[in-house]
Amino acid sequence: MRVGAGEVFGFLGPNGAGKTTVVKLLLGLTRPTGGRATVLGAPIGDRLTRRSIGYLPELFRYQPWLNAREVLELHASLIGGSAGPSPSDIGRGLEEVGLADRANDRVGTFSKGMQQRLGLAVALLGGPRLIVLDEPTSALDPAGRADVRGIIAGVRDRGATVFLNSHLLSEVERVCDRIAIVDRGRVLASGSLDDLLGGEVLRLRVTGLAPDARSELAQFGPVTAGGDDWLSIGGVPPDRHPDVVAFVVRRGGRVHAVDGGRRGLEDRYLELIRGNQS
Amino acid sequence: MTIVTIARLTIAEAVRRRIVLVLIVLTLVSVSLTTLGVERLVSLARASGTNDLQVQVGVSQILILVAFMFSFVLAMTAAFLGAPAIAADLESGVAAAMLARPIRRAELVLGRWLGLVLVVVAYAVASGLLEIAGVDAVSGSAPPYPFLAVGFHAAQAVVLLTLALALSTRLPAIASGAICVVLFGLAWMAGVFAGIGAFFGAGPLVGAAEATRWLLPTDVLWRGTVYGLEPSLIGAIAGQRVGPAANANPFYASAPPPTAFVVWSAVWIALVLGLAIWSFSRRDL
Contact B2 A78 (CB under 8 A): yes
pLDDT of res. A45: 85
Confidence of residue B178 (pLDDT cuts 50, 70, 90): very high
| Residue in B92, B101, B285 closest to A30 by CB | B285
Q: β-strand A230-234 against A200-207: which pairing, if any? A: antiparallel
The pLDDT, as a whole number, for residue B208 is 82
Q: Note the pLDDT of residue B241.
A: 65
User: Quick count: other Cβ atoms within 10 Å of Cβ B257?
Assistant: 22
**Which one of B9, B16, B94 has the shortest CB-CB distance to A61?**
B94
Confidence of residue A164 (pLDDT cuts 50, 70, 90): very high
pLDDT tens for residues A32-90? 998 889 999 999 989 999 999 999 988 778 889 999 999 999 999 999 866 678 888 89
Beta bridge partners of A12: A181
Cα–Cα dist B12/A277, whole Å:
50
Closest residue of B to A74, CA-based? B5
Q: Which of B9, B98, B285 sits opposite A24 (nearest CB)?
A: B285
Cα–Cα distance measured from residue A270 to residue A53, given in angstroms and rounded to the nearest whole number: 31
The residue of chain B with its CA nearest to that of A63 is B94
More confidently predicted of B202 and A253:
A253
- Backbone φ and ψ for A12, nearest 5 degrees, come out as -115, 155
**How much is the pLDDT for B3?**
94
Q: Shortest CB distance from B101 goes to which of A30, A62, A79?
A: A79
Q: Say whether pLDDT at B78 is over 90.
A: no
Q: Which helix (H) or strand (E) holds B45?
A: helix B19-47
* Residue B175: pLDDT over 70: yes
Would you state the pLDDT for residue B11?
95
A-B C-beta contacts closer than 8 Å: 74
Residue of A nearest to B281 (CA): A29
- In the chain, the amino acid numbered B116 is L
The CA-atom distances, in angstroms, between B103 and each of A26, A121, B100, B127, B170 are 15, 19, 8, 35, 20
- Residue B94 touches partner A, C-beta closer than 8 Å: yes
Contacts with A55 from chain B: Cβ below 8 Å:
97, 100
Question: Across residues A210-236, what is the average pLDDT?
Answer: 85
- How far are the Cα atoms of A45, A194, A235, B102 from residue A84, in angstroms, in the given order? 20, 39, 52, 12
Q: Rounded CA gap, B223 and B229, in Å?
A: 10
Chain B residue closest to A122 (CA)? B97
How far the first Cα of chain B sits from its last, in Å, is: 24
A178 within 8 A of A191, measured Cβ to Cβ: yes
Q: Does residue B278 contact residue B91 with C-beta atoms inside 8 Å? A: no
Of B1, B96, B102, Cβ closest to residue A29: B96
- Mean of the pLDDT values across residues B231-253? 71
B279 touches chain A (CB under 8 A): no
What is the third-level CATH fold of A199-262? Alpha-Beta Plaits (3.30.70)
Q: What is the pLDDT of residues B118-167, one digit of tens each?
A: 999 999 999 999 999 999 999 888 889 999 999 999 999 999 999 999 99
Is the pLDDT at B273 greater than 90, yes or no?
yes
Alpha carbons B154 and B221: distance in angstroms, whole number? 9
Q: What is the pLDDT of residue B240?
A: 66
Please report the pLDDT score of residue B236 as a whole number: 65
Cα–Cα dist A122/A120, whole Å = 5
C-alpha–C-alpha distance, residues B211 and B86, integer Å: 29
**β A8-12/A178-183 pair status:** parallel
- Of the candidates B5, B16, B104, the beta carbon closest to that of A77 is on B5
Instruction: Report yes or no: B32 at the A interface, CB cutoff 8 Å.
Output: no
Among the listed residues B246, B251, B263, the one whose alpha carbon sits nearest the alpha carbon of residue B194: B246
Kindly report the nearest CA distance between residue B113 and chain A, in angstroms: 17
Between chains, do B102 and A29 touch, taking CB under 8 Å as contact? no
Per-position b or e across B38-75, b if 16+ CB within 10 A of its CB: beebbeebeeeeeeeeebbbbbbbbbbebbbebbebbb
Chain B: closest CA distance from residue A187 (Å) = 23
Q: Is the pLDDT of residue A227 over 80?
A: no
Per-residue pLDDT tens digits for A255-267: 999 987 777 788 7
User: Which residue from A30, A59, A119 is facing B284, i.e. has the nearest CB?
Assistant: A30
pLDDT of residue A235: 80
CA distance B177 to chain A (A): 22
**Fold assignment, A8-195:** Rossmann fold (3.40.50)
Task: Write out the H or E segment, with its range, that includes residue A181.
Answer: strand A178-183
Q: Does B93 touch chain A (CB under 8 A)?
A: yes
B263 shares contact with chain A (CB less than 8 Å) = no
Tell me which chain B residues have a C-beta less than 8 angstroms from the C-beta of A29: 96, 99-100, 284-285
- Give the total number of structural domains in chain B: 1
The values of phi and psi at residue A239, to 5°, are -70, -10
B22-47 pLDDT, tens digit per residue, is 999 999 999 999 999 999 998 998 88
**What's the whole-number mean pLDDT along residues A151-179?**
89
Give the closest residue to B117 by CA, choosing from B216, B220, B221, B7. Answer: B7
| CA dihedral (B144, B147, B150, B155) positive or negative | negative
Please indicate whether, in this complex, the C-beta atoms of A65 and B16 are within 8 angstroms of each other: yes
Nearest residue in B to A76, CA atom: B101
Better-scored residue on pLDDT, A17 or A278: A17
pLDDT at B235: 67
What is the ipTM, given to two decimal places? 0.83
Model confidence at A8: pLDDT above 90: yes
Domain ranges of chain A: 8-195, 199-262
Q: How far is A166 from chain B (nearest CA, A)?
A: 18
Task: Look at residue B246 and tell me whether its pLDDT is greater than 80.
Answer: no
Average pLDDT value for chain A: 88
Per-residue pLDDT at A271: 80
Most distant CA pair in chain B: distance in Å? 70
Q: Which domain holds residue B138?
A: 2-282
Given a cut of 80, whether residue A109 has pLDDT beyond it is yes
pLDDT band at residue B114 under the 50/70/90 scheme: very high
> pTM for the full model?
0.85
Percent of chain A predicted with pLDDT > 90: 36
pLDDT of residue A226: 77
Sorting pLDDT into bands at 50, 70 and 90, what band is B206? Answer: confident
Question: Which residue type does A26 have?
Answer: L
The candidate with the shortest Cα–Cα distance to A178, out of A6, A13, A5, A7, is A7
Confidence of residue B242 (pLDDT cuts 50, 70, 90): low
Q: Under an 8 A CB cutoff, do B285 and A29 touch?
A: yes
Report the distance separating Cα A210 and Cα B100, nearest Å: 58
- Residue pair B224/B124 in contact by the 8 Å Cβ criterion: no
B285 touches chain A (CB under 8 A): yes
Position A72 scores a pLDDT of: 94
